Amino acid sequence: MLHFLPRIRVYQCKRAEHLARKCENHNCQSTKLCVEFNSDSSPGIGSSQYQCIHFACPVPPAVNKATFIGTESLVNGSAAFYKCDGFYEPLNNKNFSTCSANGSWSEFKCKRHVRNCTELRHCQPSVVDGEYWLYPEKFGDKRVKIYCMNMLSSSNDSPKSYVTLNNETNAIHSYRLLHQHSTINYAKLGVDLQTMIIDPNDMAFSNPSINHYPPYGTVYRSCSLSYYPYTSSYLLINTIGTGLLLNKTAEWDDFSNNQPNSVILYVNKSSDHRIVNVSCSGECGECRPLHDLSFEYDETYEINMTDATDPACFD
């Protein structure tokens, strides 16, 4: 069994440019390594103060989209370490290759971060609709769980991207003629992965019970008759479990043609910005966001990789 003594230097004999000191004039065969010892730590080695030993693996190979950092040695079980280039990461989250007993290095590959569902379909044409860890352009190297739809569409439809809502998110609306609340629940929200702006008109994963519905984030109020009390409309936005927050600058206002008593009762945001409640009351009209609603990254979210598929795409 080969034992490495303390304070040694290891050189690959066939690479003369790496030789130095006692191994400079060694006579090891090309299939062996020259191991240099310090005389004070290795008495009895002899005047040459080096040994020729067998090695298991050749010099670690170059890897596409990666920089070789270094290796412990070339013997069985040793590790060769790499660093993937920007916007790439090690496959299986391991940053090293291992020297095996058969004299070869285990495979090391750097996979590309996938920004959107279209990129995913391009690199994996057989991929199906589902939840995937993607890297939206707005968030750089931060992964987000995104639901991709239309991945196997036979038409020319582009894939669509959604954020799955893990808690009940709904808007309760009052309507002009019905004088009753109608509720729309949203299981997923359409989102542009370049800007992370929510598509307010994508109702693919909602359950509207009426033919006419407002854009996401907007609440309607009914017109009160003289014998009917003023009604209130409510909106709840809940991003818990998504790894995202509603943009912290989101604001709502009343658009009711200056009807009396048409005011926003409250816009209440939780301290962590994961829950937003909006309530409007008064005459005919609506309360809607002043600007596009969008998502921000939740820096405190603890990612569970089993919640979605981590795609492997390579250049």
The model's pLDDT over 219-260, given as tens digits with 9 standing for 90+, comes to: 877 665 444 455 677 888 999 999 999 999 999 988 776 665
Give every CB contact of residue 47 below 8 A, 6+ residues apart in sequence: none
89 and 180 housed in the same domain: no
Higher pLDDT, 73 or 61: 61
Question: Per the structure, how many domains does the chain have?
Answer: 3
Does residue 201 form part of some domain? Answer: no
Q: What is the model's pLDDT at position 264?
A: 66
> Is residue 8 a contact partner of residue 2, using CB atoms and an 8 Å limit?
no
Residue 28 shares a structural domain with residue 70: no
Check whether residue 174 and residue 262 sit in a common domain.
yes
- Map residue 305 onto helix, strand or coil: helix
Same domain, 225 and 281: yes
Q: Do 175 and 293 sit in the same domain of this protein?
A: yes
Judge whether 237 and 263 are in contact, CB under 8 Å: no
Q: pLDDT category, 194, cuts 50, 70, 90?
A: very high
Give a yes or no: residue 312 inside a domain: no
Same domain, 181 and 273: yes
Q: How many CA atoms lie within 13 A of 18 on its CB side?
A: 12
Same domain, 211 and 293: yes
Residue 278 has pLDDT above 50, yes or no: yes
102, 213: one domain: no
pLDDT in the model for residue 68: 93
Residue 123 maps to a domain: no
CA dist 238 and 274 (Å) reads 6
| For residue 166, pLDDT beyond 50 | yes
In the block, which residue shows the tokens 């795609």? Answer: 311
Q: Confirm if 110 and 91 have CB atoms less than 8 A apart.
A: yes
175 and 267 assigned to the same domain? yes
- Domain membership of residue 135 (yes or no) is no
| Candidate ranges 63-77, 105-119, 212-226; pick with highest mean pLDDT | 105-119
Residue 149 lies in a domain: no
Quick one: 281 and 214 in the same domain? yes
Q: Is 255 contained in some domain?
A: yes
Residue 135: partners with Cβ closer than 8 Å, 6 or more residues away: 87, 113, 114, 115, 141, 142, 143, 144
- Is residue 36 a part of any domain in this protein? yes
What is the pLDDT at residue 306? 93
Alpha helices in the chain (DSSP H): 117-123
Q: Could you give the strand order of the β-sheet that contains 130-134, starting from the edge strand earlier in sequence? A: 130-134, 144-149, 160-164, 188-190
In angstroms, the CA 111 to CA 114 distance is: 9
Asked whether residue 165 is domain-assigned, the answer is no
Do residues 177 and 288 both lie within one domain?
Answer: yes
- 71 in the same domain as 46: no
As a whole number, mean pLDDT of residues 60-64 equals 93
Q: What was the pLDDT predicted at 115?
A: 95
Sorting pLDDT into bands at 50, 70 and 90, what band is 62? very high
Q: How confident is the model at residue 53 (pLDDT cuts 50, 70, 90)?
A: low
Domain hosting 235: range is: 170-187+207-297
